[in-house]
Chain A
């Protein structure tokens, strides 16, 4: 039984790696590129929607803007870093903007695969966040 589940993990990991390799190899601005991103998004959004409908009653740890505030704060911090980098020199290698860092990270197929895997892992983390629930607080 243990060997069987191990085989499943290996097969899923190989399939995910193959999908990631294909997804990071297609040209941007093409239907294949949109499809490559849309499939994981649809899977995470669909699973989260299903989870929300079928889980036991209880409050999700993320509810409303207050729950999302740390994540939104991180996004705003990234935006602020980008604006500061642009204000301090744009594409200067001494003051790299987020875009310059991303340019280096996406320059090679293998590094694009790593960034894509990190993006998918973030989506799965969001899904786990959706599944977690905290008990209702006493009135």
Chain B
């Protein structure tokens, strides 16, 4: 559920940047947040 919401938020940020209705800075923060979310909350190192 949280993963779906994060994907939708990222998609919304990218679409907003494409339409230039939001500053590009927000798209960068969305990418940065996605990287942190993926690496530190959703990533399991294989044993």
Contact = CB atoms under 8 A, between A and B. Distances in A.
Interface in A23-69: 23-24, 28-29, 33-34, 36-37, 40-41, 44-45, 48, 52, 60, 62-68
Given A119-B36, A122-B32, A28 B42 contact: yes
Contacts, number: 95
A63 B24 contact: yes
Contact of A126 (B2, B18, B32, B46): B32
A33 B31 CA distance: 18
Contacts of B31: 71-72, 75
Contacts of B33: 37, 41, 45
- The interface residues of chain A, by DSSP majority, are classed as helix
Contacts of B41: 28-29, 33-34, 36-37
A114 interface: no
A48 B36 CA distance: 18
B24 A68 contact: yes
B7 interface: no
Interface of B: 2, 17-18, 20, 23-25, 27-29, 31-33, 35-37, 39-46
Interface of A: 23-24, 28-29, 33-34, 36-37, 40-41, 44-45, 48, 52, 60, 62-68, 71-72, 75, 102-103, 106-107, 112, 115-116, 119, 122-123, 126, 129-130
8 contacts: A28-B44, A33-B42, A36-B40, A41-B29, A72-B27, A106-B43, A119-B40, A129-B28
